A and B are shown apart, each in its own frame.
Chain A
Amino acid sequence: MSEYQALGGRIFTKPFMVLSVIFAISLYFMFDRFVIGGMGAVSNLNGGFAWGIWVVYDVVIGTAFACGGYALAIAVYVFNKGQYHPLVRPAILASLLGYALGGFGAFFDMGRFWQFYEIFLPWNWNFNSVMLEVGLCVAIYILVLAMEFSPALLEKLGKKKLLKSLNKVLFLFIALGILLPSMHQSSLGSLLIAMGHKVNPLWQVMQMQPLLALMTAILMGFSIVLFEASTVTVGFKRNSETHILSGLGKIIVGLLIAFLVVRFGVLTFQGKLGLIFAGDFASFMFILETILFVIPLVILLSPERRAQGSKLLIAGVCMLLAGSLYRFDAFLLTFNPGPGYNYFPSVPEIMITLGVVAFELMAYIVIVKLLPVMHREEHA
């Protein structure tokens, strides 16, 4: 008998219907974008801001949100922390959906979507390009996640034999599932290097971009697990998993300290500390970001607070906000292509992004109800 269970229950609940309405609205704008007016008709993208929320939210931040599977895989399979094993499968599902929709976002944003396959043709490859690494690596990782998640489907279908042979080689996919995100998540940081002066000096740390990007990815990965596990516990009225989660809190503390040391170390080394107190918009955003990074640190440092579900949730949320803001600030909010260019996302642009997120949540809800994803409650 599997140690996982489908949650069951009605699918067409009220939240589900609300989400489907949002998704339906976004379909209308997608039609406009792909068939009638092109990207200009639905977005405020322009010559200076070629990347808006579709790239920065759907891909750059969305995939960081989808790093739960990656972060847990490191804890469980590299550091051999079996106690987190129950969290792995739901996290893999969230990662699969997050990355698949990130991939969809990238396709959506692709100016010449009808020849997207050109990036997969080896004779076109430019090995100097960070974008090439990101594109290929994310595409392969989506397949790897699908393999990692497939046991849930096979269990449901009762394909015992297939499941057995898959389990024999699964370790290979798990290893790839740790390597690939390490590669493309750090590359998302490297994308900033080529943008040179357009990236604000507080975020333009040149060679150190990949390291900071990778650290925030892992941090956000653990935080999303914290967040998802605590909301699922509440939302689906399951027993509290706080005893497992408080351990995750500890890992986050270690990572957070390391991140802050590296970040401030780099800024000190590059002589940019003064910019933090310049009193302009960028310095304000930097301080806000730092506060959001420090709040979870303060919460999670104390063992008592770590044992409280609500505190864990706050810490997780702050951490996710901090990590998202870090990427938003660098890619968009303090991004300055030069005089004459402004960007604020248009309503259709935002609706499309919301539609994508709504679809992701709907898929998650349906799948955990139909497939054995959630761990059986221990006392059951």
Chain B
Amino acid sequence: MKRRDFLKTSLGGTVTAAAALGGTVCSGTAQARPNLEPAPEAVGMLFDSTLCVGCKACVTKCKQVNEMPPVIEGDHIAWDSARDLSGDTLNVIKVYQNGDRSTKDVEIDGFCFEKRSCMHCVDPGCVSVCPTTSMQRNPITGIVTHHPDTCIGCRNCMVGCPYNVPQFQYNEVFGQINKCQMCNQKGVERIDNGQMTGCAEVCPTGATLFGPRKLLLQEAKQRMALKKGDTYNYPRGDISKPDNYYEKEVPDYKQHIWGEKEAGGTNVMHISAVSFDKLGMPPLGERSAPSVVEGVQHALYSYLALPAMALAGLTYTVKKNTSDHDDDDGGES
């Protein structure tokens, strides 16, 4: 009889506890914060894949700005052979290829280029997960920077970034996390000094265009509205003060501005004539993961109210039950 009671209590207890926890978490997330909004003076870049010729000038410039060594593969010492982001590479140009690769910017039998660097998320996962506040989003410009002086190297930012951007220097005993900081880290500060990003500055075609997010988004929308085959005057450099324009035939754009809405949006946006899943972009919805997880964390831990209540209850119960045992079995607990 006693045992059956126990089964009942333990089952009942579990269900009640589960329901309580589930309830708290759900109600917490119901009032969870929405996605963050773009920073008031958010700056970013617009990468137009149809303009990129794959020259990798931006890769080289990025290495210069960040004082990082080129990746050498075999005898090819003339160019940087980095294939993906790493502790020593913050920016790469990847190639999409299909079939006989005869035509640029088509999905079948075609090819095109895609830039990989930090997207400077509006609601950045790397910032949300970092225990030591070593990833920071500038409240004015929205630029996401990394601060190794407090970083413990837990690499949660790497798994918490939807784009696998932060990279650890695995091959050093005293390595650090590296990521693109929009050329605005301490000692570089190109944006604060009124310059544009290194990669946008050297891009010969304007495929990487720098500027305020608002203007870039406007420009992207304008390009979406163009008719294939018409000509359009493409700006180069900084969209708020382009150093020159050039005319080019309008490609067959996919009607999708990557980074307008994905997981809360990004300050670095992409447009392309090849769909983004083919270019290796992740399957993201509009809700940012940080908005969900922060809802859960705050429901459970704000002001440590719940844990404090639980501790009070537990202390009382344990105290009561240990003194019971004392009576039973003589002073041992």
Contacts and interface: CB of A to CB of B under 8 A. Distances in A.
Interface of A: 2-3, 34-41, 43, 45-48, 50-51, 75-82, 85, 106, 109-116, 118-119, 121, 124-133, 135, 167, 170-172, 174-176, 178-179, 182-183, 186, 190-191, 193-198, 206-211, 214-215, 218, 247, 250-251, 253-255, 257-258, 262, 337-341
Interface string B208-250: 0000000000000000000000000000000000000000000
Contacts of B294: 128
A183 B293 contact: no
Interface stretch (B15-23, B194-202, B252-260): B15-23
B251 interface: no
Interface of B: 3, 6-7, 9-11, 13-15, 18, 21-22, 25-26, 29, 84-86, 125, 127-134, 148-156, 158-160, 162, 164, 167-177, 263, 280, 282-284, 289-290, 292-298, 300-301, 307, 310-311, 314-315, 317-319, 321-322, 324-325, 328-329, 331-333
B331 to A, nearest CB: 8
Interface of B is mostly: helix
Contacts of A3: 329, 332
B132 A183 contact: no
B290 A128 contact: yes
B11 A112 contact: no
B311 A193 contact: no
A114 B307 CA distance: 31
6 A-B pairs closest in CB distance: A111-B153, A40-B170, A112-B153, A50-B158, A254-B11, A132-B131
A42 to B, nearest CB: 10
Contacts of A337: 159, 164
A207 B295 CA distance: 9
A139 to B, nearest CB: 12
A374 to B, nearest CB: 14
A132 B160 CA distance: 14
Given A111-B177, A194-B129, A210-B25, 19 more contacts: A36-B173, A46-B170, A111-B151, A111-B168, A111-B176, A112-B148, A113-B152, A118-B151, A119-B131, A126-B133, A135-B131, A175-B311, A196-B263, A197-B282, A207-B292, A209-B296, A250-B6, A251-B7, A340-B84
B152 A247 contact: no
Contact of A197 (B162, B169, B170, B177): B162
Nearest to A85: B325
Contacts of B131: 119, 124-126, 129, 131-132, 135
B296 A210 contact: yes
Contacts of A75: 10
Given A251-B10, A341-B164, A41 B307 contact: no
A183 B18 contact: no
B164 A131 contact: no
15 contacts: A38-B174, A40-B172, A47-B167, A79-B6, A82-B325, A82-B328, A112-B176, A124-B131, A124-B132, A135-B154, A171-B319, A175-B311, A178-B314, A194-B125, A214-B21
